[in-house]
Amino acid sequence: MLFLARQDLDLAFVELGSNNFSDFGSVMKNEVIVKSSAAVRAMPIGAGKGTSCSVLIGPGEAPNFALRKFVMEPGGGMPRHTNKVEHEQYILKGGAEVGIGGETYQVKEGDVVFIPEGVPHWYKADGEAGFEFLCIVPNKPDTIEILDTGC
């Protein structure tokens, strides 16, 4: 089974027999952070197609939430999967078809999306413009189960 585990400042694919991520690492005190998002390294998402993620503010930097930026190339996407944490998302550029639960939504620049914890979801970026969005998640252990391998 393939799981995506969010640990400290990186996203990594891990092949596991267990989905327990109780050791989430230490969290820094409330300290001011100001940095250029362009200086944060984008990591390719292995289960995705043409998809990368930059952890702009990670669990080691803020006590309650992580801020991530996802970029999907035109036609890129993420397969259907579940998370143990909710997602709050703001669409920066482009558009996508987003499946949440049993519904499919067309989202575009300026839209906001809320995905409750445990609800299956997937993304398919626009074939011409691609898709970029910010994603805020709580700083608590998250296990992501990939339900379908194709995007």
Residue 24 lies in a domain: no
Q: What percent of the chain has pLDDT over 90?
A: 76
The CA distance from 102 to 98, in Å, is 11
Contact 47, 2 (CB under 8 A): yes
Which domain, by its residues, includes 58? 2-18+40-146
Residue 72 lies in a domain: yes
The whole model's pTM is what? 0.82
Given this model, what pLDDT does residue 30 score? Answer: 77
Residue 33 lies in a domain: no
What value does the mean pLDDT take over residues 78-102? 98
The CA distance from 108 to 133, in Å, is 10
DSSP letter for 120, please: -
The CA distance from 110 to 133, in Å, is 10
| pLDDT grade for 39, boundaries at 50, 70 and 90 | very high
Query: What total of structural domains would you count in the chain?
Result: 1
Residue 65 lies in a domain: yes
